[in-house]
Amino acid sequence: MLKNRYVYIMFAFTVLLIAFFIYKNISKTYEVSPILKKNNYKICILKNGETVDETIEKGIIEALNSSGYKKGKNLTIEIIKCSGIKEEQKKQVRNLIKSDKDLIITIGPEMTEAITTQTDKVPVVAVGVSDIYVKKHAQNKYNLTGVLKNDLILQELNTINRIVPIKNIGIVYNTNNQNSINRLKYMKEALNKQFNINILGIEFINMNNFIEKIGKIKDKTDAIYIPENEIYYSYFDKIIKKLNDEKIPVISDGAVMVEKGALLSVTVENYRMGFDGGLLAAKLLDGNIIPCELSFKNETDPDIFINMAEAKKLKLKIPSDIWQKARKMYLYEGQSAN
């Protein structure tokens, strides 16, 4: 009799425990609610101040305008340039969450992580995060949706290989930036699966150190890949001059760097990413939906950017099909098609 009673008690306890966890998970779903209708919505665009952020920001605002949400009319937009110092950043994020915004739009993985680790209630649209980031950090984040920017290094190498054969490639990274280290690791794995290419990691500490390293590997690499990053961007004129002197082509993942002198980029244009992020934000402002009910937008149709002046300097011939696709939108002022 006592044994049966013990079994019943354990069974009841197990059922209650399962019910508790189910309730906990269901209640978590509703920590974020649809945005209520109002005459004026308050949103924030959170960025870290990189040059590319300005183009993304412009796309976001124009998408909101096109959807009927206009600054000064029915929309108040606060734009915050977040500090690179972690403690200052945390303080800015805490103050932002306390400011009772209807919606927060983040640019890049660092800003997205800064917000989503602090709130499950405020709707967040993340622009420019990778699917790797989403799988790792965004599981069960019911207040999060956004626009993916995935690495297109495989497409870039397929393209550059038709312009100049690549057997060795240098990849620039920064040990002070965990995203940069993770990206180098991902790129090594991806390239080893698809190409028989030797990969050289080139740590960027400062310009003098970089010049010294290029001098040592100039005969060991056919091209150098430089990710879109404000640190590299601030030195880019000097970097390009050095690599031009050594006749080493530069691949980048951003149109801004092609304008500054990189040879090639296969990437989703930043304005387009921002515009798509703004459209997602507008859907949330319309109400009746929460972020997790909107799938992340995956940009699947990248643009080819080619700097024809740089190709001419390096005496490289662009295959006609690549030239035709890139030429339609991305022949920059002052550059020759010949």
- pLDDT of 58-115, one tens digit each? 999 999 999 999 999 999 999 999 877 778 888 999 999 999 999 999 998 889 989 9
- pLDDT of 20-65, one tens digit each? 555 445 444 458 999 999 999 999 999 987 767 888 999 999 999 9
pLDDT higher than threshold 80 for residue 248:
yes
- Mean pLDDT lowest for which of 24-33, 105-114, 236-245, 258-267? 24-33
Residue closest to 326 by CA, chosen among 274, 267, 276, 271: 267
- pLDDT of 164-219, one tens digit each? 888 899 999 888 777 778 778 877 877 777 778 888 899 988 889 888 888 888 88
Integer Cα distance of 309 and 335 in angstroms: 5
Q: How far is CA 4 from the centre of its chain?
A: 59
Q: What does the domain layout of the chain look like in residue ranges?
A: 41-150+272-299, 152-267+302-330
Residue closest to 149 by CA, chosen among 121, 104, 179, 122: 179
Contact 263, 310 (CB under 8 A): yes
Question: Mean pLDDT for the chain?
Answer: 84
266-295: average pLDDT: 94
Same topology, domains 41-150+272-299 and 152-267+302-330? Answer is yes
Residue 230, both tokens: 């404000």
Q: Which of 58-67, 145-154, 216-225, 257-266 has the highest mean pLDDT?
A: 58-67
Which superfamily is assigned to 41-150+272-299 in CATH? Response regulator (3.40.50.2300)
Integer Cα distance of 44 and 21 in angstroms: 34
130-138: average pLDDT: 80
CATH top class, domain 152-267+302-330: alpha beta
pLDDT of residue 96: 95
